[in-house]
Chains A and B, each alone.
Chain A
Amino acid sequence: MPIEQYAALSGLLFIIGGVGFIVRRNVLVQLMSIELMLNAANLALIAFNRSHVRPLAGSAGAASALPSHTGQVFAFFLIAAEAAEVAVGLAIVLALYRLRRTIRSDEADLLKN
Chain B
Amino acid sequence: MNIALALSPLLVVGIGALLLMLAEAFSTNPSRDLAGTGGTGGLALGATTVLFTSAAFACTVWMVGVENVGDVSAVAPWLILDRFTLFFDITLCLGGGLASLLAGGYLLEHRIDRGEFYALILFATFGAMMLAAAGDALTLFLGLETMSIGAYAMTAFRRASARSAEGALKYFLLGSFAAALLIYGFALIYGATGHTDLAGIGASARSAGGRSPMFIVGALLVLVGMVFKVSAVPFHAWAPDAYEGAPTPATAFMAVAVKAGAFAMLLRVLVLALGDAGWTSWASGWPPVVATLCVLTMTVANVIAGRQESVKRMLAYSSIAHAGYLLLGVTAMMQNPAQGIASVLFYLLAYTASTAGAFGALILCGSFEREAVSYEDLAGIGKRHPAPALAFSLFLVSLAGIPPTAGFFAKWFIFKAAIEGGLYWLAIIGFVNSVIGAYYYLRVLVFMYMREPAAGAEFARPMRSGYVTAALLVSAILVLALGLTPTRYLDLAIGAATFGNG
Contact = CB atoms under 8 A, between A and B. Distances in A.
Interface residues of A, number: 45
Contacts, number: 123
The dominant DSSP class at the A interface is helix
B162 A41 contact: no
A110 B138 contact: no
Given A44-B188, A45-B190, A113-B307, A38 B180 contact: yes
B169 A99 contact: no
A47 B153 CA distance: 34
Contact of B184 (A31, A44, A100): A44
A7 B137 CA distance: 19
Nearest to A70: B196
B159 interface: yes
A87 B267 CA distance: 30
A30, A45, A91, A92 pick with most chain B CB within 10 angstroms: A92
Contact of A77 (B142, B156, B159, B172): B142
A21 B170 contact: no
Contacts of A51: 191, 194
Nearest to A111: B241
A92 B145 contact: no
Contacts of B162: 96, 99-100, 110
Contacts of B169: 27, 92-93, 96, 105, 108
B191 A78 contact: no
Contact of B145 (A74, A84, A108, A113): A84
Contact of A110 (B141, B152, B163, B186): B163
Contacts of B181: 18, 37
Interface in B186-238: 186-188, 190-191, 194, 196
B141 A17 contact: no
B6 interface: no
A12 interface: no
Contacts of A17: 180
A45 B187 contact: yes
B196 A40 contact: no
A47 B190 CA distance: 10
9 contacts: A17-B180, A41-B184, A44-B187, A95-B156, A95-B159, A96-B162, A100-B165, A108-B170, A111-B170
Interface of B: 137-138, 141-142, 145, 148-149, 152-153, 156, 159-163, 165-170, 172-173, 176-177, 179-181, 183-184, 186-188, 190-191, 194, 196, 240-241, 244-245, 304, 307-308
